[in-house]
Structure 1
Amino acid sequence: MSDHPVIAALRSSGRISDDDLDYIEKHGRPYRGSRLPSGLRLRGAGKCFTVSDELEADGWGRYVTGIALPPVGPPKQHAWVSKDGRTVIDATWPEPHRVAYLGFDRRHEARIDRMMRANSTIRIPSFG
């Protein structure tokens, strides 16, 4: 999976340790961005964790924590839901079908948060 766009971007940043990259490669799963399903509208940017919790509670899919690489800018800590464990339902970014996603089971959220906080150029909380 070392060729995944999120992994490549993290590696090229030179600001994340080899141990953290190994952890991300070992536990991360690629997800495919998609357009919002019918009946779901775009919600507030910068609130991906809250919105994903709400979407899970409303039955849109299972909460996924992870790292996303938008078309412009560095990888960012992010959250979304998925019904099938492969396809992203992301109601906080306007073009999720253009984003590369790498997801983790929720039990990895604290470790991913620590990794991303260690590099403030990667984690931009207000982006979503």
Structure 2
Amino acid sequence: MSAEQHPVIKALRRSNVLDSEFVDYLAEHGRSYQGVPLHKDVVPWPLGSCLEASEALEQHRGWQRIEGWILLPSSYIEHRQLFYHNWNSSDGITAIDASLPDPVACIYLGVPAESDLPNRMIVGKPRKPAFTIHRPHFAYSGIHR
């Protein structure tokens, strides 16, 4: 599948939530990740704590932190929902996501957090977020599509 055909890129382009330069960067440098069931020895984190969870797993397990955008499954809500997210990968292929109940059903596209990506370039300036959840150290925005 070409980068432009990835469901997250298509959703970002349709939503117009980010400037095209951010979507272009993600299309060029982003990687698709496959959600896997959470390891039995990893404690699930609450919804909305993706940054804290991914940083903790990076620090304690050595799993690479990934930041990008995901599509939630329609089983969570009426429509698939696109939003900014953080997760981990132990192999550059799988998405280990401690802050969502069913990562297998999500569609992931992101870049390693320590890449040459300018800080928070993927998040950019959302033009029309449907919601924003604020936490002490981060905010992520999503668009309801």
Q: Report the TM-score when normalising by structure 2.
A: 0.76
User: CA deviation digits over 1:65-96, x for unaligned, max 9?
Assistant: 11111013431110011100110110100000
Paired residue for 1:110? Answer: 120
Which stretches of structure 1, 4 residues or longer, exceed 4 Å deviation after superposition? none
- Alignment match of 1:67 (pick from 63, 66, 69): 69
Paired residue for 1:34? Answer: 36
Which amino acid is the alignment partner of residue 93 of structure 1? L
Equivalent positions of 1:44-83 (< 5 A) are 44-59=46-61, 61-72=63-74, 73-83=80-90
Paired residue for 1:88? Answer: 95
Report the secondary structure of 1:31's partner residue. strand
Which amino acid is the alignment partner of residue 66 of structure 1? G
- The 1-side partners of 2:83 and 2:110 are apart by 12
Q: Report the TM-score when normalising by structure 1.
A: 0.85
Paired residue for 1:120? Answer: 129
- Judge conservation of contact 1:69–1:101 (CA < 8 Å) in 2: yes
- Judge conservation of contact 1:68–1:100 (CA < 8 Å) in 2: yes
- Judge conservation of contact 1:10–1:16 (CA < 8 Å) in 2: yes
Matched, 1:6 2:16: no
- Give unpaired runs (5+ residues) of structure 1: none
Quick one: percent identity of the two aligned structures? 31
Count, aligned residues = 126
Matched, 1:99 2:106: yes
| Higher helix proportion (structure 1 or 2) | 1
- The 1-side partners of 2:62 and 2:104 are apart by 17
- Judge conservation of contact 1:76–1:124 (CA < 8 Å) in 2: no
User: CA deviation digits over 1:34-66, x for unaligned, max 9?
Assistant: 111121131111010011100111115111111
Which amino acid is the alignment partner of residue 11 of structure 1? R
- The 1-side partners of 2:112 and 2:34 are apart by 16
CA RMSD of aligned residues (A): 2.2
Cα distance change of structure 1 residues 15 and 40 upon mapping to structure 2, 3 Å threshold: closer
Task: For residue 110 of structure 1, report the CA deviation from its aligned partner.
Answer: 1.5
